[in-house]
Structure 1
Amino acid sequence: MNFFKRIFTRKKKGTADEIVKLAVIQDFSLPERASHTEPLTVLVQGYFSHLGWQLAEASAVVKKDEIILQVLGKMKAGMMAAQAIKPFDLKIEVENLKPGTYKVRAKKGTTKELEVVID
């Protein structure tokens, strides 16, 4: 009996590890034109799949003439939480853009694609 008690009551290693995953971006908006001397501000709305997720990082990756928006969520491994959508609204600032036309899209979620002209 002691053997089973030890197995089922022992602290499990690794339960404090975090899981990191992309959140769903439902929509985003930005100005049609912006100056290269100021950061481009993108307003992003989306959600996490359940209440246990928290915002880890929101960023934009610039590749040639494309800006890819991504929001990362984190959650403790093994965490139990209600299966309900957890929405978020945030701003992502994109700095050091060179003059030109860029296509902006989300890495996960909406298939929407917008263009912005940087003067």
Structure 2
Amino acid sequence: MQGSWATKLVVLFAFRMILHTKLNYRNIALHADNAGTESVACRLRSGQYRYYVWLGFIDIKQAARLAHSKPVKLKVWAYHKCENDSRVELKSDDHVQGCLVDNVVFCVLNEGRLRIV
């Protein structure tokens, strides 16, 4: 992986948004503090799911400027807009918009909001 895009990329770590996902029977809370240490299932255009390293949140405009980025759907079952907000659960067939770059994945935010797909 080339380090140039990673060092220039401004990831939105100010957000206290939390995404909830599962890996087998383990519930995982994805947030800015554990970026790079957890994985999330991504639905590819082929319909298959693959796990990729979670790298945090990114603005939609920044994601569009990344070379070789691909849109993916993150398999998330719930989220919190911030730590103290109540949990919002998604329908079983809903996903959250993600961006796959060099075998790592970001959650895409549009003006600070998730995009449910």
Task: Give the TM interval when normalised to the shorter protein.
Answer: under 0.3
Q: Which structure dedicates a bigger proportion of its chain to strand? A: 1
* Greater relative contact order (Cα < 8 A, sep 6+): 1
Structure 1 length-normalised TM: 0.20
Structure 2 length-normalised TM: 0.20
**Structure label with greater radius of gyration:** 1
